[in-house]
Structure 1
Amino acid sequence: MKRSLVVKVTAGLDAPERCSQAFTVAAVAVAGGVEVSLWLTGESAWFALPGRAAEFTLPEAAPLTDLLEAVLAGGRVTVCTQCAARREITGDDVIPGVRIAGAQVFVQEAMADDAQALVY
């Protein structure tokens, strides 16, 4: 049975190491053939906008743009509905392939029989 991984990242530029860890875990899982759903919540919601991931730097860490591209290529990226609304981010604003969805969808993904969920 193929397992899936749901990664919820709540940090952005305010906690760069935690943010980078979440993106790194998601990208490595995708590279390993795991079905991945990366949720951008709180300050990480900004990374759903074009060019924002390029503003992120952390010494000794992979570029966030590369990690995000890897997850988009082989997994799913979602911005929390409320987090997007608080930041006035709409579906027209986000990088192609990113969706906006709410807690009900997160719970469905996290509670799937084959799912493992991580929160950063």
Structure 2
Amino acid sequence: MARQLVIKVTAGAEAPERCNQAFNVAGAAIVSGVGVSLWLTGESSWFALPGRAAEFELAEAAPLEDLLAAVLAGGRVTLCTQCAARRGITVDDVLDGIRIAGAPTFVEEITQEGVQALVY
């Protein structure tokens, strides 16, 4: 079984370097052939909405919109159920390919054999 990364990003525009680091690691893993499941939680939840990743700016960093697109194309992106609800985000609002799921699904993913979980 190949190694898998489950990456939970809790930061958004209020902590741009931490936020970008999570997306950068996810993108690098995809390019390296590692399976990736990226969880958008807390303030990063907003990046599940169309156009929001394009608004993110950080000097010397790959565009967040491109990193998110890479993960959507080669991995899985999940928006936290409670985080979405607190922000009024529904399944009809999110980008194609993003699912909404909660803690039981996260726990199921991170407890599988060969999985490494990272939280940013």
TM-score by length of 1: 0.99
Equivalent residue of 1:19, what SS?
helix
Q: Aligned partner of 1:10: which letter?
A: T
Q: Partner residue of 1:21?
A: 21
Q: Secondary structure at the residue paired with 2:91?
A: coil
The residue that corresponds to 1:98 in the other structure is 98
Partner AA of 1:49 in structure 2? L
- Partner SS state of residue 95, structure 1: coil
| 1:54-93 → structure 2 map (5 Å cutoff) | 54-93=54-93
Deviation at 1:114, TM superposition (A): 1.1
Task: Write out the 4+ residue segments of structure 1 that deviate beyond 2 Å after TM superposition.
Answer: none
Distance in 2, matches of 1:98 and 1:27, equals 16
Match in the other structure for 1:52: 52
The residue number in structure 2 matching 1:30 is 30
Structure 1: give runs of 5+ residues left out of the alignment.
Answer: none
Q: Does 2:4 align with 1:4?
A: yes
Q: Give structure 2 stretches of 5+ with no counterpart.
A: none
Corresponding letter in the other structure for 1:42:
G
Q: TM-score, normalised by structure 2?
A: 0.99
Q: How many residues align?
A: 120
**Equivalents in 2 of 1:71, 1:107: separation in Å?**
20
Instruction: Please list the CA deviations of residues 15-44 of structure 1 after superposition, one character each: whole Å capped at 9, or x if unmatched.
Output: 000000000000110111111000000000
In percent, how many aligned pairs have the same letter? 73
